[in-house]
């Protein structure tokens, strides 16, 4: 029995070569022309992060939250004075995080982050159903804003979700996020009435845990 | 003219064209089992593609690689962990398919199909994580978010989607290569 192995056998140029080349390069050319034509419009957004007043941060920055922190005391920022921030929201209204004797829950979110997209409506639902916890201020920080990423702009997203707490617009360098030691979103920082860090958590927090933490801070 | 907005739309349109080719081929293969008309058409299509499979597959791998380099080197989108795994599968395909096309080595599918399958699985999983980020880590990092898409053209075409489309089309062309090689061997 003999077998024929076609290794390295040259393929003939067929009569149909021209249509294959025409179809392939025609499709690429059509895609390119369509891309140029369809991308000609502007984003339509008249708000730019660059035009907003940059937040002013005072106080020492907190160390980055280490991974796998299971005990509050294991966080190197535990008990440290939190930075104070004076900034604006996306309408230009002043928003501040200061040591004013009121505990704070600070929630860092990025518009393109899927976890933040889930966290924002969950927290808003909790606020709508409970009214929050009296004696604790909840402030959001919109960070890592990028027009090239999905769900831009953040102000439209937050408005769509019916977000009610005040929002500080972080700058392009994410200085507020860095000052609080965040390296991923969502990121929560809880500050006690004395202005010291009580608790930081990376990732989403469920409504029951949020309520519990805020009640502890308010006590 | 060739800014990020234009180029990501261009690569997204190519990805959709690749999807159309793969889905069309699958439907044609299915139809050929039941219909003589489909069977005749698929045979004529195979005949038209004979000799072009390797060059087309090389073109797909080259465009995918150039697209990936455009995103990272021109637009400065930092590749995440799964992006790198997909690059590991796609980049060698340019060289292997290019050499095979030049040397007309029709046995190359033995090596390239597994690479395309592995790359396709990784890009599919990456896209799954983008659609359902709760299955990955619980957070989004700033620069290399595997579970957050840099963009979603038309609401669903992201970079791993484009990579998956490229791998799928290369796999289809390798299947065509096998079929046309069998036809040649039989004749």
Mean pLDDT value across residues A37-49:
55
Mean pLDDT of the B48-67 span: 92
pLDDT band, very low/low/confident/very high, at A17 (cuts 50, 70, 90): low
CA-to-CA separations, A165 to A107, B153, B173, in angstroms, rounded: 10, 31, 54
- In this structure, of A6-15, A82-91, A188-197, B110-119, the range with the lowest mean pLDDT score is A6-15
**Pairwise CB contact (< 8 Å): A7 & B51:** no
Mean pLDDT of chain A: 84
Cβ <8 Å between A9 and B106:
yes
Q: Residue B11: count other Cβ atoms within 10 Å of its Cβ.
A: 25
Check B150 against A19: CB less than 8 A apart.
Answer: no
Q: What percent of chain A stands above pLDDT 90?
A: 54
Chain centroid to CA A101: how far? 28
Contact criterion met (CB < 8 Å) for A112 and B149: yes
CA distance A54 to A165: 20
Chain A residues close to B127, C-beta within 8 Å: none
Nearest Cα neighbor of B15 from B52, B68, B51 is: B68
- Whether B43 has its CB under 8 Å from any CB of chain A: the answer is no
Q: What is the pLDDT of residue A42?
A: 41
Cross-strand partners of A191: A104, A197
Among the listed residues A110, A104, A97, the one whose alpha carbon sits nearest the alpha carbon of residue A168 = A97
**pTM of the predicted model, to two decimals?**
0.67
Q: Which of A178-192, B109-123, B172-186 has the lowest mean pLDDT?
A: B172-186
Asked if A35 contacts B7 with a C-beta cutoff of 8 angstroms, the reply is: yes
Q: Are strands A197-202 and B140-141 parallel, antiparallel or unpaired?
A: unpaired
User: Which ipTM was obtained for this model?
Assistant: 0.71
First to last CA, chain B: 50
Q: Which pLDDT does position A20 carry in this prediction?
A: 74
pLDDT (tens digit per residue) in A74-101: 899 999 999 999 999 998 899 999 999 9
Mean pLDDT for all residues in chain B:
88
Cβ of A32 within 8 Å of Cβ of B10? The answer is yes
Q: How close A101 gets to chain B, by Cα (Å)?
A: 30
pLDDT at A114: 82
Q: Containing H/E element for B65? A: helix B53-69
Residues of chain B with C-beta less than 8 angstroms from the C-beta of A27:
14, 17
DSSP state of B136: S
B1-46: per-residue pLDDT in tens? 678 888 889 999 999 999 999 999 999 999 988 888 888 988 888 8
Q: Please compute the mean of the pLDDT values over residues A39-64 and round it to a whole number.
A: 71
Residues 64 to 103 of A: which have CB under 8 A from any B CB?
none
The pLDDT confidence band at residue B132, using thresholds 50, 70 and 90, is: confident
A204 pLDDT exceeds 60? Answer: yes
Of B91, B52, B49, B66, residue with least CA distance to B14: B66
State the distance between the two ends of chain A, measured CA to CA, in whole angstroms.
90
Q: Which of A159-163, B38-42, B113-117 has the lowest mean pLDDT?
A: B38-42
What pLDDT score was predicted for residue A44?
A: 40
Give yes or no for A56 touching B (CB within 8 A). Answer: no
- Model confidence at A219: pLDDT above 80: yes
Mean pLDDT of B119-139: 85
Q: What's the pLDDT at B147?
A: 73
Name the residue with higher pLDDT: A188 or A15: A188
Chain A residues close to B5, C-beta within 8 Å:
39
């Amino acid at each position: 029995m003999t077998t024929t192995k076609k290794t390295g056998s040259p393929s003939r140029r067929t009569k149909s070569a021209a249509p294959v080349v025409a179809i392939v390069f025609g499709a690429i050319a059509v895609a390119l022309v369509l891309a140029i034509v369809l991308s000609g419009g502007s984003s339509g957004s008249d708000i730019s992060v660059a035009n907003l007043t940059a937040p002013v941060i005072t106080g020492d920055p907190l160390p980055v939250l280490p991974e796998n922190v299971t005990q509050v005391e294991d966080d190197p920022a535990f008990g440290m004075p939190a930075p104070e921030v004076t900034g604006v929201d996306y309408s230009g209204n002043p928003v501040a995080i200061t040591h004013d004797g009121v505990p704070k829950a600070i929630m860092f979110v990025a518009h393109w982050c899927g976890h933040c997209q889930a966290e924002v409506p969950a927290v808003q639902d909790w606020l709508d159903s409970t009214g929050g916890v009296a004696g604790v201020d909840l402030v959001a920080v919109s960070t890592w804003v990028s027009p090239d990423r999905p769900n831009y702009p953040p102000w439209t997203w937050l408005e769509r979700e019916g977000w009610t707490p005040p929002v500080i617009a972080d700058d392009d360098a994410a200085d507020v996020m860095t000052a609080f030691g965040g390296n991923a979103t969502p990121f929560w920082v809880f500050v006690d009435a004395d202005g010291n860090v009580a608790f930081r958590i990376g990732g989403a927090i469920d409504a029951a845990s949020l309520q519990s933490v805020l009640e502890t801070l308010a006590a | 003219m060739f800014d990020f907005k234009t180029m990501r739309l261009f690569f997204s349109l190519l990805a959709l064209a690749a999807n159309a080719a793969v889905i069309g081929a699958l439907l044609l293969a299915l139809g050929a089992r039941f219909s003589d008309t489909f069977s005749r058409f698929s045979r004529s299509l195979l005949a038209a593609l004979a000799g072009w499979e390797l060059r087309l597959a090389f073109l797909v791998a080259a465009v995918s690689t150039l697209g990936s380099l455009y995103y990272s080197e021109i637009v400065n989108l930092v590749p995440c962990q799964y992006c790198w795994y997909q690059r590991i599968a796609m980049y060698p395909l340019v060289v292997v398919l290019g050499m095979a096309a030049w040397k007309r080595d029709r046995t190359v599918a033995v090596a390239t199909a597994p690479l395309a399958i592995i790359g396709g699985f990784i890009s599919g999983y990456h896209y799954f994580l983008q659609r359902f980020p709760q299955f990955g880590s619980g957070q989004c990092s700033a620069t290399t978010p595997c579970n957050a898409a840099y963009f979603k053209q038309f609401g669903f075409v992201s970079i791993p989607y484009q990579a998956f489309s490229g791998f799928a089309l290369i796999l289809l062309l390798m299947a065509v290569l096998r079929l046309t090689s069998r036809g040649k061997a039989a004749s």
